[in-house]
Amino acid sequence: MIILDARGIELGFILLKMKDNNWFGRIDRFHFKWGRVITLLSIILLLFLGIEGSRYFNHCSEKLFISEPKEISGRYSIQVVKSKRVMELYRDGKIIGRFRTALGRSPVGQKHVEGDCKTPEGVFYICTRNEKSQYHLFLGLSYPNVQNAQEGLLAKIINQGDFAQIDKAISTKQQPPWNTPLGGAVGIHGGINFIDWTGGCIALSNKDMDILWKYASMGTEVRISP
């Protein structure tokens, strides 16, 4: 039995409503033919969004909130739980916010190589901030870290030179090289947060990203768990 989540099928119902209003194929046979095709595609899209939406929102059972401090000063950290699709923001060890997230298109498991569409797991820090990103705002993460590099070296994915560059960057809290076979340019950014769609990044709504941006400065610790 398939249970369709209302939020997941909203777009599908909009498309069907367009059909009921005779947006599709009301003039001649050509239009009618394509109206039937588009209606069929609408139904398929409705089912897809319903199934995927249900699966996704079933992960998001945690209470979402934000309690912004009166003063920005403090030591902030971020924790992401991939299986729950949530991000938690901490100030001086106390949680002050929880946001819904979207992950890479292949969300389960550790990231190993460029193009696997997995969101990495481990301990990272914010190494870049881009306020002119095509995805609203972008906070770059220090992936690959030393552990990622060690695993990549053992698996012969990268060479000793790549490992040395990554190790040096991490030891000085800089941006590690993002052009090795391990991949890179993984970060936290805006966009949509109701379906896993990124190449490995963590996506928030633009509104939530605006909040996070204020507290996630360079060097902020980011822990990502399965």
Whether residues 102 and 39 fall in one domain: no
Whether residues 48 and 71 fall in one domain: no
Written as one letter, the residue type at 206 is N
Q: Judge whether 127 lies within some domain.
A: yes
**pLDDT of 67 strictly over 90:** yes
* Average pLDDT estimate for 171-179: 98
Instruction: Please answer whether residues 115 and 182 qualify as being in contact, where contact means their C-beta atoms are separated by less than 8 angstroms.
Output: no
Least confident of 7-16, 150-159, 216-225: 7-16
- Please choose, from the candidates 17, 11, 19, 23, the residue with its C-alpha nearest in 3D space to the C-alpha of residue 48: 11
Whether the pTM exceeds 0.85: the reply is: no
Whether residues 27 and 83 fall in one domain: no
**pLDDT of 100 strictly over 80:** yes
Whether residues 102 and 27 fall in one domain: no
**Residue-by-residue DSSP string for the chain:** --PPPTTTSHHHHHHHHHHHTT-SS-SSHHHHHHHHHHHHHHHHHHHHHHHHHHHHHHH--SPPEE---SS--S-EEEEEEGGGTEEEEEETTEEEEEEE-B-BSS-SS---STTS-----EEEEEEEEETT-TTS-EEEE--S-HHHHHHHHHTTSS-HHHHHHHHHHHHTT-PPPS-STT----EEE-S--SS--BSS-EE--HHHHHHHHHH--TT-EEEEE-
- Please choose, from the candidates 63, 65, 74, 170, the residue with its C-alpha nearest in 3D space to the C-alpha of residue 122: 170
* Average pLDDT estimate for 18-22: 48
Q: What percent of the chain has pLDDT over 90?
A: 72
Alpha carbons 191 and 137: distance in angstroms, whole number? 9
pLDDT of residue 37: 63
pLDDT of residue 62: 76
Q: Judge whether 5 lies within some domain.
A: no
Q: Judge whether 1 lies within some domain.
A: no
Q: Judge whether 182 lies within some domain.
A: yes
pLDDT of residue 14: 46
Q: Judge whether 2 lies within some domain.
A: no
* Average pLDDT estimate for 155-164: 98
Average pLDDT in the chain: 85
**Confidence band for 136, pLDDT divided at 50, 70 and 90:** very high
**pLDDT of 101 strictly over 60:** yes
HSE (side-chain half, CA atoms, 13 Å) at 201: 22
**Confidence band for 58, pLDDT divided at 50, 70 and 90:** low
* CATH code of the domain covering residue 114: 2.40.440.10
How many distinct structural domains can be found in the chain?
2
Whether residues 143 and 129 fall in one domain: yes
**pLDDT of 80 strictly over 70:** yes
**Confidence band for 41, pLDDT divided at 50, 70 and 90:** confident
User: Domain of 139?
Assistant: 65-225
Whether residues 92 and 41 fall in one domain: no
Structure-block tokens of residue 55: 């699966």
Instruction: Please answer whether residues 212 and 89 qualify as being in contact, where contact means their C-beta atoms are separated by less than 8 angstroms.
Output: yes
Q: Judge whether 140 lies within some domain.
A: yes
Least confident of 22-36, 37-51, 132-146: 22-36
Whether residues 48 and 148 fall in one domain: no
Whether residues 83 and 182 fall in one domain: yes
Structure-block tokens of residue 90: 């901490």
Whether residues 198 and 129 fall in one domain: yes
